[in-house]
Amino acid sequence: MTRILVTGATGKVGRRLVPRLVRWAGAGRVRVLVRDPARAGDLAALGVDVVSGDLREAGDRARALDGASVVVNVAAAFRGVPEEEVWAVNRDAAVALGREAAAAGVRRFVQASTTLVYGRGLGRPAVEEDRLAPDPAWGVYPVSKAGAEAGLRELGGRLALVVARLAFVYGEGDPHLADSLHWAGSWPAHQRLATVHHADVSQALWRAAVTPGIAGRTYNVCDDAPLTAWDLHVLNGAVHPGAGAGAQPAEFDPWEGIGSTAAARRDLGWRPQYPSAWAALEAGAL
């Protein structure tokens, strides 16, 4: 029986992913590793096997991996935490989990990463083979995710790794879209942000976990319509400050963080249910 271990199950991505995995994989086939079981009561009510522990602790990882055949690692330390914690969770614990998963005979390891790992200046949407050179302006998060990818790939054929590089995730009540104005408020109106809805992230991670013959591959997961800073203001019921504010910086790259999804469409049969945030708005899915 395939048993899927999900890390980060009480986070923004995980909390929306796990109930879908229960529907798709079947009852009794999903396990989660969480630091606070009290926050996973709704998941336990769905029949999810809840393991209490910290991803940074080897013993807790071992208990969670026992009997698992697929791992979906969406655990992430993001904004508002010390840099050492970001490195510890996003890179060090991810690589340790991958190494131990390989030793335990896990058949597939799906690593959630970010399209912000790509460098500037490509002049087009990034493809999965492009260099990884995240801009330090985005903070340590994308740098730590690039480090995790590198460390996991060093395991070579011992680990059946699939990487999903996610754009800016939003939807289903996630405040992430509103949070974007903390920094997009100073962007020029035309600067763009690649986005993807939670429903489409879940779909991509599921397909990455179960599609045969894709070990070792990487997939960009983005919707079809990046949002401008103007769009972000409108969607949040705000007014962009206009042409006089947020002067375009010299290093501005209109393609930064925007990835081609041709590979995910070809290999995974993935198509966004919400091809744009505007479609999600019309469907009442923001």
Q: How far is CA 179 from the centre of its chain?
A: 17
Read off the pLDDT of residues 243-269 as tens digits, 9 standing for 90 and up.
555 555 546 788 989 999 999 999 999
Considering only 65-69, 104-108, 132-136, which range has the smallest mean pLDDT?
A: 132-136
233's tokens: 């203001």
Report pTM. Answer: 0.96
Task: Compute CA distances 240 → 71, 160, 195, 235, whole Å.
Answer: 42, 45, 19, 11
Read off the pLDDT of residues 127-159 as tens digits, 9 standing for 90 and up.
999 999 998 888 999 999 999 999 999 999 999
Give the integer Cα–Cα distance in Å for 177 and 169. 8
Which CATH homologous superfamily contains domain 4-171+196-224+257-273? NAD(P)-binding Rossmann-like Domain (3.40.50.720)
